[in-house]
Chains A and B, each alone.
Chain A
């Protein structure tokens, strides 16, 4: 006859194997659309970098030499229009000329706020 100790070991292994089979597999993590898109872009770190680059781009655009903006607006034939809200216009542009920030005021605020 096997020793009682052996029988106990065998039964303990049977129990352990049985318990192992009962442990459910870890459920798959279900990701939402936003999380999926975030992961596709490389996670929060990458997205933060993208946001920084975007804001920086807007800032650069807003603070670009006024002549470029004015010339651009003139080329579009907008310089003839009067605009009382043209507070951002530079010295190179007349008071009646729309500055580029007149069309992008919201963006400038955003750039300042970060």
Chain B
């Protein structure tokens, strides 16, 4: 079946189809989900190569769980974001093993955002500000304001309460606002 024919098929239906042996469904899911997963992982890890490793691992887990997927229990994207969040957290902890404090590393030359966003000053500024956030705040803010998840979904992804999500995003936004304040007009931020 051509990919186009699967464009309107929900993620979950594609996953179930793949679990039943439909390889085209896996291709459609890959095209649809892998870019999002890579972008999210990249924002958390700030490392393109590691983000791709995480993407491959998360997608492999998705393929493995497909035959046992229980329909209606969770959105595929929520499940995937949760897996990616956990994988990224593990990697960050391993990386941090020898570090004494949780201070984000200085920005390096590694491309850190999706190509389209890299071309935007606003995106670059936001990306830089995001890196100032503590890990959990960064996860919550990225999921809420970049990935577009709602608070209950973020709560599932991060395995915390909705109230905790609200607290993390509120604190994250305050930090971002402070970091971006100097460039507010330049970047076109007119609201909180």
Contacts and interface: CB of A to CB of B under 8 A. Distances in A.
Interface string B53-78: 00110011001101100000000000
Interface residues of B, number: 22
Given A14-B18, A22-B21, A3 B52 contact: yes
Given A7-B34, A14-B26, A2 B60 contact: no
A73 B110 CA distance: 106
Contacts of A1: 35, 38, 114-115
A21 B67 contact: yes
B52 to A, nearest CB: 5
**Chain A interface helix/strand/loop/mixed:** helix
B146 interface: no
Nearest to B26: A14
Contact of B30 (A7, A18, A21): A7
A10 interface: yes
Contacts of B171: none
A17 B22 CA distance: 11
A17 B26 CA distance: 11
Nearest to A14: B26
A2 B63 contact: no
A12 to B, nearest CB: 10
Contacts of B60: 10, 13, 17
Interface in A12-50: 13-15, 17-18, 21-22
Shortest Cβ-Cβ A-B pairs, 9 listed: A14-B26, A17-B63, A2-B38, A10-B59, A14-B63, A6-B52, A10-B30, A2-B34, A13-B60
